[in-house]
Structure 1
Amino acid sequence: MSVGRRIGVIGIVIEDREQVPRINNILSDFNEVILGRMGVPYRERGVAVISLIVDGNTDEIGALTGKLGQIGGVQVKSALVSR
């Protein structure tokens, strides 16, 4: 494994569904650090949830979560481990 790389998960809760195209563009821009993605519409609560499995350095992952976190109606949390 490369030095300085981290594995982790990112949880994204989308409250404003009109932001989905913007979110997808950002995820596409960071496809090199995204290993897997699962999206679930939670219609009863009026939100959508995306979970990502990521492998990258802290700058890459931080840039991804930072860009997502700047979008209104979107909540982002991450958990990373050093390996």
Structure 2
Amino acid sequence: MDTRVAVISIIVEQEDAIEELNAMLHEARQYIVGRMGIPYRPKGISIISIAIDAPQNTISALSGKIGRLKGVSAKTAYSNVITPAEEGAEQ
């Protein structure tokens, strides 16, 4: 299946959602290229950015699951970089 590069931006407003969020990201670890987390203590939130290279349905499913967590917002930005399945198998 073709893969696509995307960034999932996450804002965590409720600390009790972090454990479940981390479990979801751990399940998707094979697709995650990089992760940056910034605790914004004055506002009481965490800002997380996930760079991912995965099939589009996998990215959409992960973003949707994350967005359904209570106290968590997620948005996805897709690149136009798509790797055909044959090339992706070589990585």
TM-score (ref. length: structure 1) = 0.92
- Separation in structure 2 between the aligned mates of residue 64 and residue 32 of structure 1, nearest angstrom: 13
What is the Cα-based RMSD across aligned positions, in Å? Answer: 1.0
Q: Deviations over 1:44-69 (max 9, x none)?
A: 11100110111011111011101101
- Separation in structure 1 between the aligned mates of residue 77 and residue 31 of structure 2, nearest angstrom: 14
| Structure 2, gaps ≥5 residues long | 82-91
Question: Which residues in structure 2 correspond to 1:43-82 (within 5 Å)?
Answer: 43-82=41-80
| Structure 1, gaps ≥5 residues long | none
Residue identity matched to 1:33 = Y
Structure number with higher helix proportion: 2
- Separation in structure 1 between the aligned mates of residue 80 and residue 27 of structure 2, nearest angstrom: 24
Deviation above 2 Å: which 4+ runs of structure 1? Answer: none
Aligned length: 81
Q: Displacement, 1:38?
A: 0.8
Which of structures 1 and 2 has the bigger CA Rg?
2
SS in 1 for 2:42: coil
Q: Displacement, 1:4?
A: 2.4
